[in-house]
Amino acid sequence: MPQTPPAAPHRELPADAYRDMTRILRIGLITALVILLGGIVAYLAENSSIGFRQMVAQNPIVHYLGLDALAQGLATGQPEAYLTLGVLVLVATPIARVVTGLYFFARNREREMALVATTVGILLFVGILVIGPFLR
């Protein structure tokens, strides 16, 4: 009968791991919502005559998905660029949480769990930065 390995000594993650992840999720959400709400108010002010179907068909943020276009749009105060930034902050929030997890596992000297967090991070980057743009 195969021997089961003894349970690893349980290293409780420190309280600041929970605290920092909670803060990251809250700060990320609030920041994203502020940018998005500001962006949508400005968008509606500039596009009062546009129809619902036209807005859905055009997708106002699609032109600002590249870094150059986004930077230029933000610099010139384009509402669509700020809407794009808000969505990006919302998407980046869970990624920041994964990176925070990696930091605490590494600090706690949990090599396997640090490897798990690194793998999740790499999968997210591949999905978002490689596979997504390939589908456009």
Partner 1 sequence: MELIWYLVILAVVAIAAGFVGSLTGIGGGIIIIPVLVIFFNVPLVVAIGASVITILANSATTGSAYLHDRLTDLRIGMFLEIATVPGAIIGAVLTVYLVHADLQDALLVALGIILILLAVAGLRRIRDDAYAVAVPDRRSRRLGFFGSYHDAQLNETIAYQAADTNRALGIMFAAGLVAGMFGIGSGVLKVTALDDALKLPIKVSTATSNFMIGVTACATTGVLLAAGYVNAVLAVPVAVGATAGALMGSYILPGVRSRTVRIAFTLVLVGLSIELIIRGLGGP
Please give the residue ranges that form the binding site for partner 1 (CB under 8 A). 4-13, 17-18, 21-22, 25-26, 28-29, 32-33, 36-37, 39-40, 43-44, 47-48, 50-53, 55-56, 59-62, 65, 80, 83-84, 86-88, 90-91, 93-95, 97-98, 101, 112-113, 116-117, 119-120, 123-124, 126-129, 131-133, 135-136
Q: How big is the chain by its Cα radius of gyration, in Å?
A: 21
Please, which residue, 53 or 76, has the CB nearer to partner 1?
53
If the CB atoms of residues 29 and 71 are measured against partner 1, the closer one turns out to be 29
Q: Are 26 and 90 contacting, i.e. CB atoms less than 8 angstroms apart?
A: no
Task: Say if CB 102 and CB 114 are below 8 A apart.
Answer: yes
How crowded is residue 121: how many other Cβ atoms within 10 Å of its Cβ?
A: 15
Owner of token pair 């997504």: 132
Nearest approach, Cβ of residue 64 and partner 1 (Å): 10
